[in-house]
Structure 1
């Protein structure tokens, strides 16, 4: 589970086993008991458990801000 970055106690990461065929580029976010999954194109919530709407909006903004880092890390890890 490569961690891409951390911000305000949130861990932004992806799983090394992302399915076969692999899903499009996305990022998981954890903090406390909450976890969410966001697609990157466009940045949108795929699912969430434990985060309120305000937090999800803030997370989406952080993901948009770090989209290039997320994509670079994804392709470095998975190739293509």
Structure 2
């Protein structure tokens, strides 16, 4: 299961339900995908197929929506 948190432009932001416990978000785009760590600080974990410009754009979107993503994570993965 991979619940979508939100979409912005050509990006889809989502989680995988059965993955590692460190808080992160996946980003899908027609050109590729990326994974961003949210803790202890926002940072790129992996990316495939995205340009550096697309990665930067996706990371900026994650930063703007960090509170929403964190809330969605805590709701989807209750402690």
Structure 2 length-normalised TM: 0.91
Q: Whole-Å Cα distance in 2 between the matches of residues 29 and 5 of structure 1?
A: 10
Q: Whole-Å Cα distance in 1 between the matches of residues 70 and 3 of structure 2?
A: 13
Q: Whole-Å Cα distance in 2 between the matches of residues 13 and 70 of structure 1?
A: 9
Runs (4+) of structure 1 moved beyond 4 Å? Answer: none
CA RMSD of aligned residues (A): 1.0
Question: Structure 2 matches for 1:1-80, cutoff 5 A?
Answer: 1-18=2-19, 22-41=20-39, 42-80=41-79
Unaligned regions of 5+ residues in structure 2, if any? Answer: none
Shift of 1:71: 0.7
Q: Whole-Å Cα distance in 1 between the matches of residues 27 and 75 of structure 2?
A: 19
Aligned length: 77
Unaligned regions of 5+ residues in structure 1, if any? Answer: none
